[in-house]
């Protein structure tokens, strides 16, 4: 894994947007997946600015949802699809016809995961994954332990993830189950960018890039990825 450290999260967002724009320019029709969460939002805002300036074209890119809460409809404030729409799709003028989403209300999880993986495969596989880093090393909703062969599937969220996500929803209950792209399709992405900000991510960041490669820290599996880049701010790198 390559690592780049920035003095603050604002500088990280600017450079991360440039790197994302470069990837999209090299392959304008690629399929990508992007994380929701606090860390990458500023990067998406900067990417939208580049688009408005004509410095990146998103007219043919395809975007696939990284994860979703199971049983939460799109009109629910906790909908991760709605979050992706507001934070990424609309600012970058990407229509729903070029966005793949999980059916969060599915009654057949196995069939839904097969359908979703098939849609990504039909789009040429993931060219880029922009990912966050969970407090326990989870990637998307791939909770530890998750091996490199972990498929797209339904998961039960850990207490760490529930506590971390609680701050997003203003006192609403955090759903306890989700659907997630598996480690296998994420590790198959041709390029991966991790966005890591805040001193609270220091310990898990160091485990991810310096510790043993282990399913107990799913993000560590990207140490063996041929093109994985970690963008971290100084707070995350240096710690409290």
The residues that are catalytic are: 67, 136, 138, 143
Rounded to an integer, what distance in angstroms lies between the CA atom of residue 240 and that of residue 237? 9
CA distance 34 to 44: 9
What does the alpha-carbon distance between residue 14 and residue 6 come to, in Å, rounded to a whole number? 10
- Say how far apart CA 208 and CA 86 lie, in whole Å: 30
Pair of tokens at residue 43: 């990067």
| 131 burial level (CB within 10 Å; 0-12, 13-18, 19+) | buried
- How do 62-65 and 31-34 pair as beta strands? parallel
């Amino acid at each position: 894994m390559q690592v780049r450290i920035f003095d603050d999260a604002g500088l990280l967002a600017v450079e991360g947007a440039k790197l994302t724009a470069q990837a999209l320019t090299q392959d304008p029709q690629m399929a990508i997946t992007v994380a929701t969460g606090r860390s990458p939002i500023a990067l998406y805002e900067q990417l939208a600015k580049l688009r408005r300036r004509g410095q990146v074209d998103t007219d043919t890119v395809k975007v696939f949802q990284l994860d979703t809460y199971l049983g939460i409809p799109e009109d629910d404030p906790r909908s991760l699809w709605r979050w992706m729409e507001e934070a990424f799709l609309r600012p970058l003028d990407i229509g729903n016809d070029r966005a793949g989403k999980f059916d969060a209300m599915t009654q057949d999880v196995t069939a839904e995961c097969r359908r979703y993986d098939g849609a990504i495969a039909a789009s040429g596989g993931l060219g880029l994954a922009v990912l966050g880093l969970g407090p326990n090393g989870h990637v998307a909703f791939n909770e530890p332990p998750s091996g490199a062969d972990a498929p797209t599937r339904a998961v039960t969220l850990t207490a760490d993830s529930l506590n971390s996500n609680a701050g997003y929803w203003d006192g609403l209950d955090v759903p306890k189950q989700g659907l997630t792209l598996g480690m296998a399709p994420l590790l198959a992405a041709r390029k991966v960018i991790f966005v890591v900000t805040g001193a609270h991510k220091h310990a898990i960041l160091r485990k991810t890039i310096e510790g043993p490669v282990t399913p107990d820290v799913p993000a560590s599996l990207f140490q063996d990825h041929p093109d994985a880049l970690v963008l971290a701010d100084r707070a995350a790198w240096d710690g409290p």
